[in-house]
Amino acid sequence: MTKAAELKTIDHYINGKVVAGVSGRYADVYNPATGKVTGRVALANASEVAAAIANAEAAYPAWRNTPPAKRAQVMYRLKTLMEQNSDKICALLTAEHGKVLNDAAGELQRGIENVEYACGAPELLKGEHSKNVGPSIDSWSEFQPLGVVAGITPFNFPAMVPLWMWPMAIVCGNTFVLKPSERDPSCMMYLAELALEAGLPPGVLNVVNGDKEAVDVLLSDERIMAVSFVGSTPIAEYIYKTGTSNGKRVQALGGAKNHAIVMPDADLDNAVSALMGAAYGSCGERCMAIPVVVAVGNEVGDALVKKLKAELAVMKVGPGTDVSNDMGPLITKEHFKKVKGYVDLGVTEGAELVVDGRGLVVAGHEEGYFLGGCLFDKVTPGMKIYRDEIFGPVLCVVRAESLQQAMDLIDAHEYGNGTCLFTRDGEAARYFTDNIKVGMVGINVPLPVPVSYHSFGGWKRSLFGDLHAYGPDAVRFYTKRKTITQRWPSGVRETAVFTFPINS
């Protein structure tokens, strides 16, 4: 077994430098393709998180008063540095998450696009002004930062999801404390170093690695004004209830069970290609993945299953460092067992396992957490494999008799994150987009993830809070509006007015 002294240690990033953990607690970091421990990450205790918050609080006054144009210049330089070091960032992603390098590059690009949006801070933070709202009275509003804010991010997008949060929060004038996933922390540590190199003052961005102990400090410390979270629904609900009960503004993005509907008139070949990527890309570990396909009509269902089965037969699964592979491993051994257990359960529940990926062995990586793509047919809404978020390479095919019946299935589910419809019928598409109770909708687009200048978020139990992630909603989440009404005396004494002021 690898000795602790030989392992890479990932500590914390506080006040512009790497700070060694003092709690004495560590978690192993694995290479999912080999199953081997490659490092250990320090798990912060309450005092270490408090130190990060204190440094963010100390950095806040000067950063708040830094002109938005200068804050934006830091983002411009950060964007350039991320592009120049993209190969290293992607290698870190693949080494600890397992996703194929091409997929890592796509994740990073989406993150960079959020930094690009943050570069527009001078425009995004402009207030509103009205002259002479009353006799010699002017009124205007402005958007002021909140103070110290925090982010808690998941393992599945170690670069992109943090980049949804801290660049916009920081460019709005806040300072930030981030707790990334302890399963793949190295990427965020490196991004913090690049932010410092880009000119971000020490203390404006701090990274504390940890587990629930660190999370609970962020949710309870009165110096934290707002918390952003992405993860599973049970944890999102806990984050939202705990944070708001402590007086914080909270946005907590939870789980998903995204459905795709395939209509009889759909371009089936293109739909199948799209569904393969949406269901099995990143090993299904995406909140925008498509784990359920609703085929409208048995003829469509039979043809769809036949084509998906043929595609799965040629899909390449292996280590993410080989860009010829389509899919890499699952993140941990525990998650591998969980996903495999759902496949076992689906068989027990009576679904038809058309393609069984449980026996996959990748030569030279026998200890890696590889599960082949799995395909179920004749899945029904009463099955757990239909209801639960599996978060793995498992696609369930459900049959429906009409578009409305398929939509009713989607609307009845507890999650409302994303969905899509494959059709050539504009009337059906318009009806679907207008009436489906889901936050992000695609027409012939299986992963309708909004671009950086729109906002990301689902409905129902996929989002707790009123504001979505990144885009215009991020500006509103990380700022508070202040309205000022002003008049200068004319030198003539006025009579006291005891009625409510009106403009007349």
- Tens of pLDDT, residue by residue over 445-478, are 999 999 999 999 999 999 999 999 999 999 999 9
- With respect to residue 318, please indicate whether it lies within any of the assigned structural domains: yes
The answer to whether residues 269 and 250 belong to one domain is no
The answer to whether residues 230 and 294 belong to one domain is no
User: In terms of C-beta density within 10 A (0-12 exposed, 13-18 middle, 19 or more buried), how is residue 426 classed?
Assistant: exposed
pLDDT(491) > 80:
no
pTM: 0.95
- Tens of pLDDT, residue by residue over 169-179, are 999 999 999 99
The answer to whether residues 138 and 240 belong to one domain is yes
Residue 39 in tokens: 């490092």
Q: What pLDDT score does 438 carry?
A: 98
The answer to whether residues 214 and 351 belong to one domain is no
| Bridging pattern class, strands 374-377 and 463-464 | unpaired
Q: What pLDDT score does 7 carry?
A: 87
DSSP label at 500? P
Residue 479 in tokens: 């700022």
- With respect to residue 34, please indicate whether it lies within any of the assigned structural domains: yes
Averaged pLDDT for residues 44-69: 98
CA angle 318, 319, 324 (to 5 degrees): 70
The answer to whether residues 216 and 320 belong to one domain is no
Nearest Cα to Cα of residue 468 among 454, 482, 479: 454
Give the CATH number for residue 214: 3.40.605.10
> Is residue 254 within 8 Å of 237, Cβ to Cβ?
yes
The answer to whether residues 347 and 416 belong to one domain is yes
More confident call, 493 vs 164: 164
Mean pLDDT across the chain: 96
Q: What pLDDT score does 3 carry?
A: 55
The answer to whether residues 159 and 137 belong to one domain is yes
499 pLDDT tier (thresholds 50, 70, 90) = confident
> Is residue 233 within 8 Å of 415, Cβ to Cβ?
yes
- Tens of pLDDT, residue by residue over 235-269, are 999 999 999 999 999 999 999 999 999 999 999 99
Q: What pLDDT score does 502 carry?
A: 77
- With respect to residue 499, please indicate whether it lies within any of the assigned structural domains: no
User: Looking at 73-204, which runs of residues are DSSP E strands?
Assistant: 128-134, 137-145, 148-152, 175-179
- With respect to residue 497, please indicate whether it lies within any of the assigned structural domains: no
Residue 31 in tokens: 């290479």
Averaged pLDDT for residues 271-275: 98
- With respect to residue 191, please indicate whether it lies within any of the assigned structural domains: yes
Catalytic choice (90, 283, 287, 420): 287
The answer to whether residues 362 and 263 belong to one domain is yes
Q: Above pLDDT 70, what percent of the chain?
A: 99
488 pLDDT tier (thresholds 50, 70, 90) = confident
492 pLDDT tier (thresholds 50, 70, 90) = confident
Quote the CA–CA distance of 238 and 441 in Å, as a whole number. 27
> Is residue 66 within 8 Å of 75, Cβ to Cβ?
no
Q: What pLDDT score does 136 carry?
A: 85
Count structural domains, the chain.
2
- With respect to residue 453, please indicate whether it lies within any of the assigned structural domains: no
Q: What pLDDT score does 420 carry?
A: 98
- Tens of pLDDT, residue by residue over 295-334, are 999 999 999 999 999 999 999 999 999 999 999 999 999 9
Give the CATH number for residue 313: 3.40.309.10
**Catalytic residue status for 287:** yes
Q: What is the H or E stretch that residue 422 is in?
A: strand 418-422
The answer to whether residues 89 and 176 belong to one domain is yes
Quote the CA–CA distance of 39 and 26 in Å, as a whole number. 10
Containing structural domain, residue 181: 4-254+462-483
Nearest Cα to Cα of residue 346 among 302, 398, 295, 306: 398
The answer to whether residues 217 and 155 belong to one domain is yes
Q: What pLDDT score does 1 carry?
A: 41
- With respect to residue 423, please indicate whether it lies within any of the assigned structural domains: yes
> Is residue 215 within 8 Å of 152, Cβ to Cβ?
yes
- With respect to residue 41, please indicate whether it lies within any of the assigned structural domains: yes
pLDDT(4) > 80:
no
Averaged pLDDT for residues 68-80: 98
The answer to whether residues 149 and 287 belong to one domain is no
Nearest Cα to Cα of residue 31 among 364, 322, 326, 367: 367
Length of the chain: 504
- Tens of pLDDT, residue by residue over 181-231, are 999 999 999 999 999 999 999 999 999 999 999 999 999 999 999 999 999
SS3 (DSSP) at 196: helix
Q: What pLDDT score does 493 carry?
A: 79
SS3 (DSSP) at 459: strand
Quote the CA–CA distance of 280 and 473 in Å, as a whole number. 30
Count of C-beta atoms within a 10 Å radius of residue 176:
29
The answer to whether residues 101 and 250 belong to one domain is yes
pLDDT(2) > 50:
no
- Tens of pLDDT, residue by residue over 6-28, are 789 999 999 999 999 999 999 99
